[in-house]
Amino acid sequence: MAAACSRSLCKVGRSFLKTPATVRSGTASFLLGNAATHSSRRGLSSGLPGFRSRLVSSVRAGGGRVLGCAFLLGGGLGLYQTLKLSLQQHLAQEDSKVSGGSPKMTLYQYKTCPFCSKVRAFLDFYGLPYEIVEVNPVMRQEIKWSSYRKVPILMVDAELQLNDSSVIISSLRTLMISKEKSLSDIIRCYPEMKAVNDRGKEVTEYNNKYWLMLSEAQNADVYPAKGMQKEEMKWRQWADDWLVHLISPNVYRTTGEALASFDYIVREGKFGTVEGFFAKYVGAAAMFIISKRLKNRHNLQDDVRQDLYKAVNDWVAAIGKNRKFMGGDQPNLADLAVFGVLRVMEGLQAFDDMMENTKVKHWYRRMERATLNHEGRS
């Protein structure tokens, strides 16, 4: 439609330029007369008695050529915009073909949450496009529509809601491999269970969350060596059940570290001015106290750094000297989980101490490059 209008304008412009001056002036007078009539109806006429006659005279003196050029210019601009829009649509279609028609994904998160960081590491490594909605940890208005009140939450195509970091990762990885399955069908393989923990609090868990729902042939292709699948599942669970619980006691180990940690959280998170102030100072004091309770609950040493060092070195030892990653030449889901958890300490003293006093540095830097370069996409 736009292209047709543009071509019509161009034809009118060319006819103006080719038509004899006397005819052009008559046509111009007719157009300007109509324009003046409409203007007076809208109350926009100049009100000067000689305005119209002088304008028509100026057009007769060469204004027809000006009008023709104006029509040509308008038509040309219209064609340009039409071609530009067509090109953009074509490129978008090509991008969609290249990406395999990836679903639109929106991640609701706290940036400094280790579970959210795990999901980002997975999405980045495999080059899956996604948008981020940073959730205010105080009001949580961004997820008020959800009965599930934790993060991460991943919305797929604005319809399907995925909860729990390990379920999100397992279901998406299954979908990438088993293209014949729908995500809705895959999600049903991870049923939700509610239970009461040892502190009397109701918790939500998910069955099978470390499993990929694959056929025997697909399973053999993904895990060609004996024990690879069990190893991956074991360390994914280790990251959730043990490693993640070492983060808070270490980043809130002293009052100074607690303050530095909350300064980082406030800067990276979504807080209002007043919320940020109270989060930084009141939150730091509260988490310093809570970290001591966490240390007792998880039977950590007085020097919690030693537990962090041991955990990280155990991880590096499990990879061994002959593998770049636990997945071999490429990271597997356990690599991505451990990297995602450790990454939230970057910029804090606990992270610097870990990098200096353990053997994790080379593996960690390889993981940084792998996720930054979306190496899993190929």
Residues marked as catalytic: 110, 113, 115-116
| 142 Cβ contact partners less than 8 Å away, ≥ 6 residues apart | 108, 133, 134, 135, 136
3-state secondary structure of 223: coil
The residue with tokens 């929106």 is 106
3-state secondary structure of 192: strand
| Sheet (strand 131-134) strand order | 131-134, 105-109, 153-156, 160-163
| 233 Cβ contact partners less than 8 Å away, ≥ 6 residues apart | 210, 211, 334
User: What angle do the packed helices 228-241 and 333-343 form, to 10 degrees?
Assistant: 20
CA distances from 81 to 4, 8, 201, 375 (A): 12, 15, 60, 37
How many CB atoms are located within 10 Å of the residue 87 CB? 10
| 327 Cβ contact partners less than 8 Å away, ≥ 6 residues apart | 232, 333, 334, 335
Contact predicate 17/69, CB 8 Å: yes
Half-sphere exposure of 53 (CA within 13 A, CB side): 3
Q: Is 65 exposed, middle or buried (0-12, 13-18, 19+ CB in 10 A)?
A: middle
How many CB atoms are located within 10 Å of the residue 296 CB? 9
